[in-house]
Every structure is written in structure tokens, then in C-alpha cells.
Amino acid sequence: MSVLAIDAGTTGVTALVISPNGAVTARGYAEFAQHYPRPGWVEHVPEEIWQATLVACRQVLDAAGGGHQGGVAGGGHHGGVAPGAPPVTCVGITNQRETAVIWDRADLAAPRPAIVWQDRRTARICEALRDAGHEARVTELTGLRLDPYFTATKITWLADEEPAVWAGLADGSLAAGTVDSYLIARLTGGRRHVTDASNASRTLLFDIGAGRWSAELCDLLRVPQRALPEVVPSTGVIGRTDPAAFGGLDLPIAGIAGDQQAALFGQACFAPGDAKCTYGTGSFVLANTGSSIASPAAGLVSTVAWMDGSGALTYAAEGSVFVTGAAVQWLRDGLGLIDDAAQSEYLAASVPDSGGVVFVPALTGLGAPHWDPDARGTVFGITRGTTRAHLARATLEAIAFEVRDVYDAMAALPGGHAPVLRVDGGGAANGLLMQMQADQLQVPVERPEVGETTALGAAFLAGLGTGVWSSLDEIAATWRLDRRFEPGARDEAGHARWCRAVERSKGWAR
């Protein structure tokens, strides 16, 4: 009764086998390349995402079943794992959300690279739409704002810059979707072109009140509606894997959610007011708002959290910080200041403070609550005494400050912000950062035993749709605390310096 969870992130694909008690029994992982063809542009090759998915799934099923007769990529054992292992009974999928993928409906080949959520190329399109007075209506229908982050303007850009691709979308020969839709097309051998409501709500094309694509927004943003996927519930069987495409495996696909909504589900944040923050490439704070769409507070957006099997929608308020873990990665890969991400904690702890250094990691613009695609990364306060340790500490401080700014904006929500923040993702393993976060928020921060809650949420949705778990209460009972960080003194002077630095970073690329 185990579940295979596929988590297609921004830099790689993680595959987990989750047991009925919520434990991770096997793991697989494969990276794929990031491409930066121009400043502010970020692309992926869809085929590389698919191949990474196959590799990660082969690894996890081999680990779970002790061998796979060639594994996922090459034909393997029909039905899940080898005899004697807990059977994998269904598949759940979660994904980087706003990335736009185009593929041929006939052969599933992608005619161009995917345009990634971090990509800023559509900033001028968003600005023109805003100047024309469209943003209020877009927000009214979608809960979002006009920003290059979201999917639709990436397709608008194709209409202007790659008319042959756009024409293929218009005539129906090409399909458009987010990464979940692309993976489901590949997993089902092209039989299904679907997305769930949580992913649809990130496109600027989905009416979150009505629960359907908006013809009005498709016309405004020049997105051919016939190219879009069918919107389905986040839990429940929506198709089966094609054995010819997925190494002989015939499994129901029964759970889909965008990565941040999946993490909210994986953290068992089922009640209105429950909140979590995922520390990955960026950091994303979501608060469950139940069946109510929250009026957009300063700098926040409203989004679909998930759709149940009956079609009922649960909503969330979200603050998206674009660069947090990616800033630590930049210290490693861009500057060579650290050998691995874990070293950032040791290095930052070697100094009592940042020595007055402030780093604004606006490497792909600023997200919530500032929303400035033209902001750029800046470092202030460098002196002759500044060391790499000070820059490492300033990086961790920046992450804590960014999340505080979003959390403070959530005070405007009904009931105020959450009294406890549940955390997950790679950055949550950094104890110094989590203590800084508790200090800045002045609320306890809780880290679960299973940190990969994004994949866990996909597994829970799939298992809920196939009977592995019978209720939300049963799922919530699997959540286990690893560590609780209690708030200490808050560095208000440091946050004030941060706010000054953020203002100076804005508009740099304009």
C-alpha cells in the first residue's frame, strides 16, 4: 500500500516511496540542467526533466524493491516493486509551478525550452498590461498580480517572439501546460492532458472563484484556450501510467499539486490559519484560508490550495520569495565561498553577527511583498574587515528577513498570522537559520521529522484518492515533530538596515 511520489523541482527530480505511516522508505534523485541564455532568462529542456524523472523513479523503485529487472527506463517489474516489498499502488506528482512547457501532442517532443518561473523576460508585457489598467481585474479573477513569475505572459511572449510555436498552440497541434501536465502526458503516453486546480491557479488564466479557465483572461493574454489542459481535482485517479512509457508499470496517477500547495498538505495544514514555509530555491509562505478567498493583503496573493474529489476548493494566501536557497547556492557555485550548502551554517556561526553587511538576494528580482522584477542583488556595508563568514551570515539573515516581511503582511488576514510556523525544505535543516527565523517572527518554528513534505503532500493526495489513507485526520496523525525553535531576542536594528537596503535594490534593471 505504499505510494510513489514524484517531486519535479527547479533543479532536479526527487522520487520517494511513502509508507502508510508517512515514513520515507526509499529515495531517488536526479538533477537536470538550468540554462541562462540571456540576463534574466531561465530555461529548462523538457526532455531533460523527463529523463531525470525516469532516473529518479528507477533509483527509488530499485531501492524499495531490491532490483527492477532494468528499472523504470527499461521495462521492469509490472505493478510497482519486486516481490516481497510493500507494493506501490499509486503515483502522486508535485512540481515547480509557473514554468511554461510546450510539447507536440503527437510525439510529445518539445519544440522549444521551457520558460521557468524565475524567468523575467516578460516584465515589459506585465508593465504594459498594468499601465493599461488590467491588473485590478486580473487580481479579482485569479487572486494574483501581473508579474513575470506567473505562466500566462510567457505564452503571450511566444505570440510576439515565436509566432510559429504560438500558431501550433492555436491550431491544437501543440499543448501548453505546467510541469505537472507535461509529466502526466509523458507518463500516460500522451493519453491525458490535465492539470489540477492548484497548478491552474498559478497561470493568470484560472478564475479561482468559479473554478475554471477564464475565457476573458485567455483573450486578454492571447493564450489559445484549446492548448490548455483539462482541470481535474488534486486527489483521485485521473489516469494510469503507460507501461510502454514507464518501464512496464501500470499505476493510477491519483494526486497532483503544485509544490507549495503540496507542502501545505504534507505539513497537515488542513485548518484555516495553519501556515508553513518551504525553504527551497526560494521560500514560500502559505496560510490555509479554508473555503474563503482572502482579500489580497499587502504584497500577498490568493491561490487554490487544493481541490477535493467533489470539486470543492480550499484556498490559501501566499507570499513567494524568489531567491533564498538559491542565494546559498550562489555563494557556493558563483563565488566559491563554500563547498556545500551545509557549510553556510558553520561559517555563519563562526561570527557573532554580519559585521554590518546586508545582502539583498534579488538575483531574479523581488517577489512578495515588494514585487519588483527590476530589482537586482546588492551587498551593502562591506569594509576592509569583511570576511566570507560575514557574507554567509548576511545571506542567512536575508532569508529570515524576507520571510519575516511576508509573515508581517499576513497579519492583515482574518485572524492575523499563524501562532506557529511549520517549516520544511532544504533550508529547514539549517538550525541557525531556523533560530534566526523564530527570533524574527517571534513565534515558534516547528520542523517535522520528514523534511521532504512537498513529495509527502503529493503522496498523501494520491493515497487519499486510492484508499491508502481514509481521511485528513488519519494523515494528520502521521505528522511528527523533529525540533521546535522557540523565539529569542529580535534584531530590530538589523531588520531596519535590511529594509533600507531593499529600497536601494529596487528598479536597478529598469
Lookup result for grid cell 501548453: 176
Please work out, in degrees rounded to the nearest 5, the angle formed at the alpha carbon of residue 21 by the alpha carbons of 15 and 24: 25
Cis peptide before 369, with omega less than 30 degrees from 0? Answer: yes
Distance CA 50, CA 48 (A): 5
Q: Are 289 and 272 in contact (CB under 8 A)?
A: yes
pLDDT at residue number 73: 52
Residue 211 CB burial class (10 angstroms; 0-12, 13-18, ≥19): middle
- Over the chain (510 residues), what is each successive 10-residue block's mean pLDDT? 93 93 92 92 96 94 63 43 60 96 97 94 94 94 93 96 95 96 97 97 96 97 96 96 92 96 96 92 91 82 94 93 89 89 90 95 90 92 95 95 92 80 92 96 95 94 94 94 96 95 92
Grid coordinates belonging to 354:
554580519
Half-sphere exposure of 378 (CA within 13 A, CB side): 21
pTM over 0.85: yes
- Cα separation, 9 vs 284, whole angstroms: 14
Question: For the chain, first and last CA: distance in Å?
Answer: 54
Report pLDDT for 83.
40
Q: What is the pLDDT of residue 364?
A: 84
How many Cα atoms occupy the beta-carbon half-sphere of 380 within 13 Å?
15
Helix (H, G, I), strand (E, B), or coil: what is residue 248?
A: coil
**What pLDDT does residue 75 have?**
39
Residue 84 has a pLDDT of 40
Phi, psi (rounded to 5 degrees) for 20? -60, -20
The grid coordinates listed for 59 are 533509483
Tell me the HSE value of 157 on the side-chain side, using a 13 A CA sphere.
19
Using alpha carbons only, how large is the chain's radius of gyration in Å? 22
